[in-house]
Structure 1
Amino acid sequence: MSVFADPGSRSYARVAGALYLLIAISGGFAIAFVPAQLYVPGDLAASVQSLIDARGMFLAGIAGDVTMMVSELLVTPMLFFMFRSINPTLSLAAALARLTMVTTMAVMLMFHAAMLAFADGSALTAFSGEERMQLAGVMLYAHDSGVWVWQIFFSLHLWLLGALILKSGLFPRLLGLGLIVGGAGYILDSAFAFAFPEVAALGLLRAVLLGIVTLSEIGFALWLLIKGPRQV
C-alpha cells in the first residue's frame, strides 16, 4: 500500500487518475446510459415496467453505481491529501462536498430497492397490483430526485477543486477553469429538471456547461494518469 504514502508522487497521481476514469466510465453507464435505454420520459408507470422487464440491465446499472461509489471513497481522500498543502480548509471542504454527494447516491439505492419490492409484489402484498405499481413509481421519482440533490454538492466540489488546481500551479490552468465554469452545469441541471423544465435556454446552457465540465474532468483524470502533478 506504499502507493498511497506520498500524495506528491507520480504513482499516487496515476492511481487517482485511474480511479477517476473508472468513476467516469461506471458513472456514465449507470447514470446516463441505462436510464436513457429504459426510462420512458414523462411516464413513471411505464418506466417502472421497463426497468422490471429489463431487470438484467437495471441491475447492471446498480452494479455501475456501486463501482462508482466505492471508487469515490478512494478518490475523495486522495484528492484531499493531494491539495491539502495548497489550502487545507478548501481541500477539506471539497472532500466533504464530494462525500456528501456519495452519501446521497447511496441513499438513492434504497429507493431503487423499494421500487423493486413494490413492483414485483414482495412488499405490501395486501395492496392491489395497480397500487403497488403506483408506489413503485413514487419510489422511482424519489430516487431520481436524489440526482437533483447530489448535483448541488458536486457543483460545490468542482468549484473548490477547480480553485485548488488554479492556486496549486501543479496542473494546467485550463483544467481548473473548466471545472469552475462547467461545474455550474450540474446545479443548473437540477434547477432545470426540478423548477424550470419549460425554459429551453436554461436547458441549452446546462448542456453546454456539462459538456465543458465532462471534458475538464476527463482531462484532469488523464493528466493525473499520464503526467501527474508538475514538480515544483
Structure 2
Amino acid sequence: MSVFNDPTQRSFSRLTGAGYTAIAIFGAFAIGYVPSQIITDDPTTTLAAINDKRGLFNAGIGADGMVMMIEVMVSTMLYQMFRRVNETLAFAAMLARFGMVTVMAAMLMFQAGLSGMASGTIPADSALTELLLHMHHSGVWVWQIFFGLHLLLLGQLVCRTEALPKIFAYGLTIGAFGYFADSLYAFAFPNADLLGWVRVGLLVIVTLSEVGFALWLLIRAPRIGATTPTV
C-alpha cells in the first residue's frame, strides 16, 4: 500500500492517528467495560457470569485481539515517524510497546482457562479460578511498566520535534509515571493512600494527553519526519 511508503507524509500520520484512536476504543471496551460486567470478587460468581454472558466475554477477547494487532502496526509506524528525530529513543519506544503487547497476549491464556472452567470443559475449582484472576490482574500491572516506559520515551520524542505541541510532550512524560505508580501501588503499597491518589491524577493526565496526541495525528496529520529535529 502506497500510504506506507513515506512516513513523512500526512496520510501516514493520519493513519497512525486512526490506529491509535482505534486502540483506545477497543481497549476501553476490552479492559474497562467487559470486566466491569463480569469480574467480581467471588470466583464462583465470576465463572457464572462468564457462562451467562458468553457473547460479551468472547467479544472482549476479540477486542483484545484487535488491540494487539493494531498495536503492532501503530508501534512500527510511530518508530518510522520519529526515527528521524532520534532513532535510539524511537527504537527503544517501539520495543517497550512490543513488550506490552507480548504480556497482553500471555494474559489471553488466563482468560482461556477461565472460559474452560465456566463452560465445564475444565473442572471448576474456586482456588484455581482465583489464581487465574489474580494472574490476569497482575498481567495488567506488568504491561503497564512497559507502556509507561514507552510513553516516557514518546514524550521525549514529541518534545524534540516542532511538528507537535509541547503540551503533549509534557503530558505524556509526566503522565507516564501514572502507570509506574499504579503498578507500584498494586504490587507493593496497596495501603498507601497518597500514592493511590497520585496515580489517579497522573493517569488522568496521561489519558488526556494520549487522546489529544492521537486526535492531533488523525485530524492535523503533521509531517513529523519532514521537520528538522531539535537537539
TM-score, with structure 1 as normaliser? 0.92
Would you say 1:198 and 2:191 are equivalent positions? yes
Kept in 2, the 8 Å contact 1:166–1:176? The answer is yes
Q: 1:105, 1:134 → 2: CA distance?
A: 23
Counterpart in the other structure of 1:72: 71
Q: 1:191, 1:37 → 2: CA distance?
A: 26
The number of residue pairs the alignment matches comes to 225
C-alpha root-mean-square deviation of aligned residues, in Å? 1.5
Larger RCO: 1 or 2 (CA < 8 Å, sep 6+): 2
Change (3 A) 1:85 1:106: same
Specify which of 189, 208, 216 is matched with residue 215 of structure 1: 208
Counterpart in the other structure of 2:154: 161
Q: Percent identity?
A: 50
Deviation at 1:21, TM superposition (A): 0.2
1:150-189 matched pairs, under 5 angstroms: 150-189=143-182
Change (3 A) 1:188 1:47: farther
TM-score, with structure 2 as normaliser? 0.92
Identify unmatched segments of 5+ residues in structure 1: none
Identify unmatched segments of 5+ residues in structure 2: none
Specify which of 133, 146, 159 is matched with residue 140 of structure 1: 133
SS at match of 2:194: helix
Kept in 2, the 8 Å contact 1:183–1:213? The answer is yes
Change (3 A) 1:45 1:188: farther
Deviation at 1:105, TM superposition (A): 0.2
Q: Deviations over 1:31-82 (max 9, x none)?
A: 1111122222x43443333223222211111111111111101101000010
Kept in 1, the 8 Å contact 2:50–2:118? The answer is no
Kept in 2, the 8 Å contact 1:119–1:136? The answer is no
Kept in 1, the 8 Å contact 2:151–2:172? The answer is yes
Question: What letter corresponds to residue 172 of structure 1 in structure 2?
Answer: P
Question: Where do 4+ consecutive residues of structure 1 move more than 6 Å?
Answer: none
1:6-155 matched pairs, under 5 angstroms: 6-40=6-40, 42-123=41-122, 125=123, 129=124, 132-155=125-148
